[in-house]
Amino acid sequence: MKKFLKKQSVSFCILFLSFGFYQCKNFKNNSKSGYQEEQITFDTNSVKAKVYTTAHNSNLKLTLTDTISFSEFNQPLETEIDIVVDPRNEFQEFIGIGAALTDASAETFYKLSKENQELFLQAYYDTQKGIGYSLARTIIHSCDFSSASYTYVEEGDKDLKSFSIKHDKKYRIPFTKKAIEAAGGKLTMYASPWSPPAFMKTNNNMLKGGKLKEEFYQPWANYYAKFIKAYEKEGIPIWGLSIQNEPMAIQRWESCIYTAEEERDFLKNYLGPTLENEGLGDKKIIVWDHNRDLLYQRASTILNDPEAAKYVWGTGFHWYEDWKDDNPMYENVARVNEAYPDKKLIFTEGCNEGYDISRIENEDPKLAERYGKSIIKDFNNGTVAWTDWNILLDETGGPNHVGNLCFSPVHGNTQTGELTFTNSFYYIGHFSKFIRPGAKRISSVTSSNKIISTAFKNKNKSIVIIAMNSSNESLNYSITVDLKTTKLQILPHSIQSIVLN
């Protein structure tokens, strides 16, 4: 590990102009506006589009690689690849992209040098010099990515008289405040619990599943309200919350099981009314917060009940259903969007499991391409926000108190102080940097499965087109907008952002 990281002086490209050029600097890490609803038609005769590229096994990391112009329409052949973008067709409004600020991330952050702490914050949150994260998830007491299990109350305190977030004040709260500051003072933040305290559960254990005992439905609802108020008192606004992380998974770490009917009834009879009574009725409540496979079943059970649905902002989902057959079930997101267009969809968690540093050393393209494909497919199916799991982990893929070690886009070596920015970081940046909150998705259709794409129109009227090539060959393709065409090339295992200003 040390040998590898010493070879990897982190090369992070700092952006000095919005949608402009890059000045790349090597960091030796051991060193001390209102949205206008009218239809916008681009004058493609004069527009210049900038192309930014990240490619595996190259020095291209969110690098400006081309400036292109549009010419007369060129009818694509069936043997050619064309992306048709229609700015007239607008869909969901984009809220943001971000990651979870876990205990593991916070603890790792404070083991970095001051220089690398600043680099880390700038890289993720600065809209000019970094990738402009605007969304964050936090945890309600411990999860597996904590150094140990803990709660905010003493065991058996059903009246919550001992409630205190003192534990979080050492690492997670100051870390979160730094992230908010780095994001310009505003970060859309939502919270998720992994398990109620052990005494509230049928198995008397925060780990290994179990259910919330019925006599503790109200105290547990009160717990959410106390958490929100305590965090907001610390200067961390909570935009929303999910009811339960992965409510159908019996994990060896913090977990709790709810059937769809149990989650529905807890929401409509306890959590929803409690938040309203506590003056927190404006908080966005997210149901499910688990994989795409059972997404429709859970959403329909809850949203078909008007008394439950009135409290629901949207449905959250993860990407881990592919353990069954390696095939993500993107179409289930589209089915929920079709059936409940008045409710939102948010991707609440995804990471590459089974940490193995050799996959970073060898630039395994599957790590970053899993992000690119999921983000494109999920937004094309109606998702409004997308959340990565841990924003930062250490050189072991932790800390994690049950050994569930994973990848994150950035790893910090707590022994040497070095940072490693993986290609996943840059792939996510192709979306989070150029597509800004308030943007609206527009039609984007490709004529070949070799390239996948999505497109958005920002509030400043710029159009952002994302194209990803996960094949082993360079591909020529074209983009057609308003019957004007431009031709491009995309490298093997690469992603491009095409920005039309």
Cβ atoms within 10 Å of 366's Cβ, excluding its own: 11
Task: Give counts: helices (H), strands (E), the chain.
Answer: 13, 23
Exactly one of 107, 254, 263, 349 is catalytic; which is it? 349
Residue 334 and residue 151: Cα distance in Å, rounded? 37
Residue 358 and residue 223: Cα distance in Å, rounded? 42
35: phi then psi, degrees, rounded to nearest 5: -85, 130
Residues found in the chain: 501
Cβ atoms within 10 Å of 348's Cβ, excluding its own: 26
Residue 472 and residue 25: Cα distance in Å, rounded? 29
DSSP H/E element including 432: helix 423-432
Residue 299 and residue 289: Cα distance in Å, rounded? 10
Q: How far is CA 157 from CA 219, 222, 229, 269, 415, in A?
A: 9, 12, 19, 22, 40
Q: CB under 8 Å to 100, separation ≥6 — which residues?
A: 136, 137, 138, 139, 349, 387, 388, 389, 390, 391
Residue 253 and residue 276: Cα distance in Å, rounded? 31
Please tell me what DSSP assigns to residue 406.
Answer: B
Beta partners for 394? 412
Residue 269 and residue 250: Cα distance in Å, rounded? 25
3-state secondary structure of 1: coil
Of 51, 137, 153, the C-alpha closest to 102 is 137
| H helices present in 137-259, as ranges | 172-182, 217-233
Cβ atoms within 10 Å of 447's Cβ, excluding its own: 18
315: phi then psi, degrees, rounded to nearest 5: -115, 130
Q: How far is CA 137 from CA 53, 103, 238, 371, in A?
A: 28, 12, 9, 17
| 246 is known as an active-site residue | yes
Token pair for 304: 């078909």
3-state secondary structure of 358: helix
| 90 is known as an active-site residue | no
CB contact at 8 A, 253 and 282: no
Residue 81 and residue 495: Cα distance in Å, rounded? 15
Burial label for 433, CB within 10 Å (0-12, 13-18, 19+), is buried
Residue 381 and residue 67: Cα distance in Å, rounded? 30
Could you give the residue numbers annotated as active site? 246, 349
